[in-house]
Structure 1
Amino acid sequence: MKNNTSTKTRNNEHHHHHGIGHHQHHHGAGGHSHGDNREGNKKGLLIAFVITTSIMVLEFAGGLVTGSLALLSDSGHMLSDASSLLLSLVAMIFAAKAASPKRTFGFYRFEILAALFNGVTLFVIAFFIIKEACERFYNPPEVASGSMMLIASIGLAANMISAWMLMRKGDVKNNVNLRSAYLHVLGDMLGSVGAIVAGLVMLVFGWYVADPIISVVVALLILRGAWGVLKQAVHILMEGTPDNIDHDEVKQTLQSIDGVVDVHDLHIWTVTSGFHALSCHMRVDNDADSQAVLQQAIHRLETEYGITHSTIQTEHSHIQHEQLKL
């Protein structure tokens, strides 16, 4: 943005005000993913990681012994889940690191990268499950369904505890990193339920093709969740406007302030889940008090949209700058 005498005092006042805004972001109600809920998120992820790793080993051994694809695919999915939960945990630890002159937003984006990676691994797992299931359709092997159901039931109970811990201690709704980890656990739950149903069908009817059929159904459910996580992570990385904020509505709100002639170069983006930022140019009437207009704009963005990290350049009609490309 242009540096000019008319905006220097405004910048000083703006940064002074936003010293308070940033403080709220890191320690209070300023953001869902990096406020006082961070410890709960970490604890939930750690418990889920320990449970998932333990059950993964049990299901893998059980799948080899019983010859069940549903169990093996579930344990393979759990291997990815254990990695994903660990990655989400590491991302959360990194995100807590302080910002530096080189990384002025700190490591918050690491959480979004972790969510993106988790989404991709879910797609890869689903592909391999479907590929193996297709081969088994033509030659369904016999499966020790009783043992398979017992192991799957233990897996289901463990997954339910993991999911409950993540929901109880963490912010699954607002934090895309935590939600990607939660979806992995949810996929495991579906895998375990699928293995139990397949085992029941094979035990009662001797219909061994149920094993690959259930595997495909679970894989498709995993894909549905993965697509949602991928979409949101890519949207954030592409600096898209947050889903819960209407760009045009924000523009109208700012333009409705007395003394504002025009608002342009308005950008709203997400740094990490729950932490939104905004920048814009605001043309102010030459006779208006630009400081008072700025203060009102800052206040309305905070109270109406929860945006506490805003950078607003106020301009009078004589300010000229190049045509903006974005």
Structure 2
Amino acid sequence: MGHDHAHGAGGNRRRLGVALAIIAVVLVAEVVGAAVSGSLALLADAGHVASDIVGLVVALVASTIALRPATDRHTFGFQRVEVLGALVNGAILVVVAVGVAIEGVRRLLAPEETHVAGLPLLVVAAGGLLANVAALLVLRGGDRQSLNLRGAYLEAMGDLLGSAAAVIAGVVILTTGFAPADAIASLVVAALILPRAAALIRDVVRVLTESAPRDTDVEQIRAHLLDTPGVVAVHDVHVWAITSSAPVFTAHVECDPEVFEEGRTGPLLDELGECLQGHFDVTHSTFQLEPAGHVDRGESSHR
């Protein structure tokens, strides 16, 4: 399991590094384009991209720390650092979305202060759109394995949406001269970013509060374990996740007395572990085997 996680985290780190390089090029292009054209829209989007680069750096550092091995003090290793990185990314997304929304409203209320050069905006935004598509393709797939990478993916998605909105605004400004199109596009982007940021933060909170993973049915797991020959009851069930791709399961399992008398505890533990891994993709499980009727007074309040 440790090797698999290290391999996955290493792959995530490479994805983040490539995406960071691509988005950094977008930032430089937008800053130069804004300086040449005087476009406030490009400068604002460059600020958006800069905040995303900060988020990607946080994600990259978190992925690197997560590769460190477990120690006597950090017995699960540093895998949960990825979750903390995702929390930072989620917070950045919220700040960016709120900032873009505020600026968009300000421009709508004071259109006379908004001067956007349509052609430079369109050219640079189109280049940014292509670069962001490339970054998303690099991050694609890893976002389903790691909350940290999912945060980076959402930030790249926000950049793509920002570039797409800027392209549309550039076309509208060039063809109609309607300058407020830029502010309207910004509000659309903010409205698209906020729900994704909220969903990311919700999943981070689920991990940090050690709630059962969203796709885990505890009663179904209990039913599978009870179907195992020799198992009489299952209680004190706890399911949580170290990080998004590392669920953990513990339980007390009451067995027929024959299991202990015949020395079948080892095979039973193997069968229970294989049940969880095969049906529920849980590779880290711990079972306390007890004779039928045994009650642990210290744990009796748990299910």
Partner Cα separation in structure 2 for residue 149 and residue 166 of structure 1: 26
1:276 deviates by: 1.2
Are 2:188 and 1:217 aligned?
yes
Contact 1:69 / 1:212 at 8 angstroms: preserved in 2? Answer: no
**Aligned equivalent of 2:136:** 163
Partner Cα separation in structure 2 for residue 44 and residue 320 of structure 1: 47
Amino acid across the alignment from 1:314: L
**Aligned equivalent of 2:281:** 306
* Pairing 1:7-86 to 2, within 5 Å after superposition: 25-28=1-4, 34-63=5-34, 65-86=36-57
RMSD: 1.8
Contact 1:278 / 1:310 at 8 angstroms: preserved in 2? Answer: yes
**Aligned equivalent of 2:127:** 154
Identical positions, percent: 37
Cα deviation code 1:209-259 (max 9, x no counterpart):
111000000111111221221111111111121222211100111122222
Relative distance call for 1:102 and 1:323 in structure 2 (3 A) is: closer
Contact 1:70 / 1:194 at 8 angstroms: preserved in 2? Answer: no
Cα deviation code 1:70-125 (max 9, x no counterpart):
32332111111111111111111111101000000110000011011101110000
1:172 partner SS: helix
**Aligned equivalent of 2:60:** 89
**Aligned equivalent of 2:268:** 293
Amino acid across the alignment from 1:305: F
Partner Cα separation in structure 2 for residue 43 and residue 318 of structure 1: 50
Q: Would you say how many aligned residue pairs link Structure 1 and Structure 2? A: 295
Contact 1:149 / 1:200 at 8 angstroms: preserved in 2? Answer: yes
Amino acid across the alignment from 2:298: E
Partner Cα separation in structure 2 for residue 224 and residue 318 of structure 1: 48
Cα deviation code 1:261-296 (max 9, x no counterpart):
211110111111321111111122233346043332
2:69 partner SS: coil
**Aligned equivalent of 1:11:** none
Are 2:301 and 1:322 aligned?
no
**Aligned equivalent of 1:113:** 84
1:267 partner SS: strand
Relative distance call for 1:40 and 1:293 in structure 2 (3 A) is: closer
Partner Cα separation in structure 1 for residue 50 and residue 286 of structure 2: 44
**Aligned equivalent of 1:132:** 103
Partner Cα separation in structure 2 for residue 58 and residue 162 of structure 1: 15
Contact 2:40 / 2:115 at 8 angstroms: preserved in 1? Answer: no
Contact 1:263 / 1:283 at 8 angstroms: preserved in 2? Answer: yes
Structure 1: tracts of 5 or more residues without a match: 1-24, 29-33
1:65 deviates by: 4.7
- Compute the TM-score of the two structures, normalised by the length of structure 1: 0.85
1:66 deviates by: 3.7
Higher RCO (CA-CA < 8 Å; seq separation 6+): 1
**Aligned equivalent of 1:17:** none
1:64 deviates by: 5.0
- Compute the TM-score of the two structures, normalised by the length of structure 2: 0.91
1:162 partner SS: helix
Structure 2: tracts of 5 or more residues without a match: none
Relative distance call for 1:235 and 1:320 in structure 2 (3 A) is: closer
